[in-house]
Chains A and B, each alone.
Chain A
């Protein structure tokens, strides 16, 4: 059930009406939990068990860590249990086949016969997101930054809350659990701002990302069938597509949560307008960066042990971040590239980059991003290599069988650029939501009417659902 499907709109309308009709906070939370499980079961009910197991283990671990007081070994044992179970599920479903396959390849290359079994498990949607959320719960209790949830219901709702369940933003327990303490008040919901945010997210995903996706898919299916222009255009199109897809999803997630009375953290702040790769990562998928900073970079030592160790720590973070995105060598390489650039920017080169005028700085960041995203998007290193060769050669597309460039790709890219720059820079949503009621309604209705022709009847799944 995608946010841009009519059945989701019907589902959400029903959930919204019933949740606000329920007077008691407990009943409301129980209903939202059931709705969240129903939402997830619409993907695949079998994987609900994993969410329940994760919730159960973290609930128990959180209680026991807290109850252990100063008994450090007992606290550590319960934390390890939480980490083993959560990461064990993640590794089994997401990474086992990758590591087994890679090991098989290596051993075969070395001449040692090997046949580690490949499980071919289906990847449960959203597993990377909710695993990180539940880990934040037990880790924060261990670090004494959070008390255990007041009830299992609160913890279960924090893990499964449907607006952010399958693709974030990655919410930390310490910022969401306190919101469940009391029933939200309808009067405190900024309905107009939420409606505008939902609409903008809808347009980003359904009208822009889905319009770009067929061309990008076609190029990556036949990387040898494009020339330099086609390869660059496809790289630009994918950069626009993934921004519109992911930020569109999170806009709608934040808007849905807001309409239900809860606040989710911001996940994007005009990343393509940043002037360094390091800064980019504080504007793109902000909640993932925050999670890695708090739970990996700082524990590794952060920048406390000197610039050299800091660079190594950053590189490790980005390597793991690459793997978080997917179990493939393309993601590992992509993570390494970003780690290398961020580490490099900590050297004197970074100082030189910081002095660059705006346009060259923007070009630098977007060039690094577009080129690295060719690797990210490619199904294999060979495919990525073909496209990168095409980008940096003067080759013309093949005379026959070339992937045609659709004429409407230019206006869609302009649209994506406009959403990115104009929208985020001019705070249009705030100004729009501040219009007098009837004028707001009229303009929103007209905007929906303008968007309708660009909505696809057969939306593509969100790119980040695969992670």
Chain B
């Protein structure tokens, strides 16, 4: 009887301490994730509107300008927060949003969500990186596994790895599923996260960027031109060299979207509906949009046409929003500069006001 009891006690001790450690482990600091999410969790109750999406949102939408324009259009007193984070895809964004909604934000009336593609592919060369680990809680992992069936192709540079995997000969999605399950397992333990925990507890690491002060001053918007990181600077230099290609990219969008098949062929509508339902359950309204990144978005085109998620604001369409296309408004192919961000924020406010007026809705919680 001693041995089974001892083994049980071992398990209890291990799980209890591990869980305590997991709760102490901070979010990854990279790309603004930690500071923006921590700020949002603390202050989300002060905001009416939340933008959530990738770096296109982080650099491209200025909440102050957005509110100012809304006020001019007859919707005063709206406070918005930009929760855009560099490299944040749909599953990570959904996970972050769930954390924010768990705070039961009293004032939050609208969640403006960038291009929810629900792509479960893991694009980083090293799948086991902190950025992927943090969002692999049980429910988000299950959602990602369920979305696998909608992925037609593996990322090109991972094809060989997946083919060589012991399960790869059956289907390339199986090694990918194993990666998701591995990330889930990793997420359950504080394995290898001691230095971060100590840095966080003892406040040793420098304050992650953007700083709390900057976040409060700009309501989450980050000026891409200020203290640009090396990768961001390289993208800018690359854009300056190849700026002639911008017009070609814009020209290709309509054709690429026209060729796309119906939504059901390659899109996890159930994941989207679940997300929208969670937003509504928290007392807010969802609104989807596509950022002006010069890339086609056939799924969002099909979703917009189907209408099951309401109107999708597709700012990437050059014909519909020509004011976003001038090359001098861009930092690189994917991001607007500060001036471009001002133009997009005003335009977004105008479209948002149009929707509010058409629906007889308010930007505030009723």
Q: What residues make up the interface of A, taking CB atoms closer than 8 Å to B?
A: 207, 211, 407-408, 411, 437-450, 452-457
Q: Is the CB of A445 within 8 A of B12?
A: yes
Say yes or no: is B128 at the interface (Cβ < 8 Å to chain A): yes
Q: Is the CB of A440 within 8 A of B6?
A: yes
Q: Is the CB of B18 within 8 A of A441?
A: no
Q: Is the CB of A453 within 8 A of B25?
A: yes
Against A, the Cβ 8 Å flags (1 = close, 0 = not) of B1-22 are 0110111111111111110110
Least CB distance, A181 to chain B, in whole angstroms:
29
Q: List the B side residues contacting A455 at CB < 8 Å.
A: 191-192
Q: List the B side residues contacting A438 at CB < 8 Å.
A: 2, 5-6, 8-9
Q: Is the CB of B5 within 8 A of A446?
A: no
Q: Give A179 to B268 CA distance when docked, in angstroms.
A: 64
By secondary structure, the A interface counts as helix
Q: Which residue of A lies closest to B197 (CB)?
A: A453
Say yes or no: is B166 at the interface (Cβ < 8 Å to chain A): no
Q: A408-B204, A437-B5, A453-B21 are in contact. Are A445 and B198 (CB under 8 A)?
A: no
Listed residue (A207, A411, A446, A448) with the most chain B CB atoms within 10 angstroms of its CB: A446
Q: Is the CB of B9 within 8 A of A445?
A: yes
A-B pair number, CB within 8 angstroms: 86
Against A, the Cβ 8 Å flags (1 = close, 0 = not) of B76-110 are 00000000000000000000000000000000000
Q: What residues make up the interface of B, taking CB atoms closer than 8 Å to A?
A: 2-3, 5-18, 20-21, 25, 128, 189-195, 197-199, 204
Q: A437-B2, A439-B9, A441-B5 are in contact. Are A454 and B17 (CB under 8 A)?
A: no
Q: Give A238 to B128 CA distance when docked, in angstroms.
A: 30
Q: Give A309 to B14 CA distance when docked, in angstroms.
A: 57
Q: Give A452 to B17 CA distance when docked, in angstroms.
A: 10
Q: Is the CB of A452 within 8 A of B9?
A: no
Listed residue (B3, B13, B16) with the most chain A CB atoms within 10 angstroms of its CB: B13
Q: List the A side residues contacting B10 at CB < 8 Å.
A: 441-442, 444-445, 448
Least CB distance, A229 to chain B, in whole angstroms:
19
Per a CB cutoff under 8 Å, which of A442, A444, A448, A454 touches B194? A454
Q: Is the CB of A449 within 8 A of B194?
A: no
Q: Which residue of B lies closest to A206 (CB)?
A: B192
Q: Give A47 to B263 CA distance when docked, in angstroms.
A: 58
Q: Is the CB of A408 within 8 A of B195?
A: yes
Q: Give A207 to B194 CA distance when docked, in angstroms.
A: 9
Q: Which residue of A lies closest to B205 (CB)?
A: A407
Q: Is the CB of B198 within 8 A of A452?
A: no
Q: Is the CB of B18 within 8 A of A449?
A: yes
Q: Is the CB of A441 within 8 A of B190?
A: no
Per a CB cutoff under 8 Å, which of B6, B7, B14, B199 touches A449? B14
New A-B contacts (4) at CB < 8 Å, excluding given A440-B9, A446-B17, A449-B16? A441-B10, A445-B17, A448-B14, A452-B21
Q: Give A441 to B191 CA distance when docked, in angstroms.
A: 20
Q: Which residue of A lies closest to B128 (CB)?
A: A457
Q: List the B side residues contacting A445 at CB < 8 Å.
A: 9-17
Q: Is the CB of B192 within 8 A of A456?
A: yes
Q: Which residue of B lies closest to A448 (CB)?
A: B14
Q: Give A447 to B9 CA distance when docked, in angstroms.
A: 12
Q: Which residue of A lies closest to B192 (CB)?
A: A457
Q: Is the CB of B191 within 8 A of A437?
A: no
Q: Which residue of A lies closest to B7 (CB)?
A: A441
Least CB distance, B127 to chain A, in whole angstroms:
12
Q: Is the CB of B13 within 8 A of A446?
A: yes
Least CB distance, B347 to chain A, in whole angstroms:
45
Q: List the B side residues contacting A444 at CB < 8 Å.
A: 10, 13
Q: List 19 A-B contacts (CB under 8 A).
A: A211-B195, A408-B199, A437-B2, A437-B5, A437-B6, A437-B9, A439-B9, A440-B6, A441-B8, A442-B13, A443-B13, A446-B16, A448-B14, A453-B21, A453-B25, A453-B190, A453-B191, A454-B192, A455-B192
Q: List the B side residues contacting A454 at CB < 8 Å.
A: 192, 194
Q: Is the CB of A453 within 8 A of B193?
A: yes
Q: Which residue of A lies closest to B8 (CB)?
A: A441
Q: List the A side residues contacting B189 at CB < 8 Å.
A: 452
Q: Which residue of B lies closest to A444 (CB)?
A: B10
Q: List the A side residues contacting B12 at CB < 8 Å.
A: 442, 445
Q: Is the CB of B191 within 8 A of A457?
A: yes
Least CB distance, B208 to chain A, in whole angstroms:
16
Q: Which residue of B lies closest to A449 (CB)?
A: B17
Least CB distance, A415 to chain B, in whole angstroms:
11
Q: Which residue of B lies closest to A454 (CB)?
A: B194
Listed residue (A211, A445, A447, A454) with the most chain B CB atoms within 10 angstroms of its CB: A445
Q: Which residue of A lies closest to B6 (CB)?
A: A441
Q: Which residue of B lies closest to A439 (CB)?
A: B9
Least CB distance, B26 to chain A, in whole angstroms:
12
Q: List the B side residues contacting A441 at CB < 8 Å.
A: 5-10, 13
Q: Give A176 to B171 CA distance when docked, in angstroms.
A: 51
Least CB distance, B189 to chain A, in whole angstroms:
6
Q: Give A411 to B12 CA distance when docked, in angstroms.
A: 28
Least CB distance, B82 to chain A, in whole angstroms:
32
Q: Give A449 to B13 CA distance when docked, in angstroms.
A: 7
Q: List the A side residues contacting B17 at CB < 8 Å.
A: 445-446, 448-450
A-B complex: 8 closest residue pairs judged by Cβ atoms: A445-B13, A449-B17, A441-B9, A453-B194, A441-B6, A445-B14, A446-B13, A441-B10
Q: Which residue of B lies closest to A411 (CB)?
A: B198
Q: Is the CB of A450 within 8 A of B21?
A: yes
Q: List the A side residues contacting B195 at CB < 8 Å.
A: 211, 408
Q: Give A207 to B198 CA distance when docked, in angstroms.
A: 14
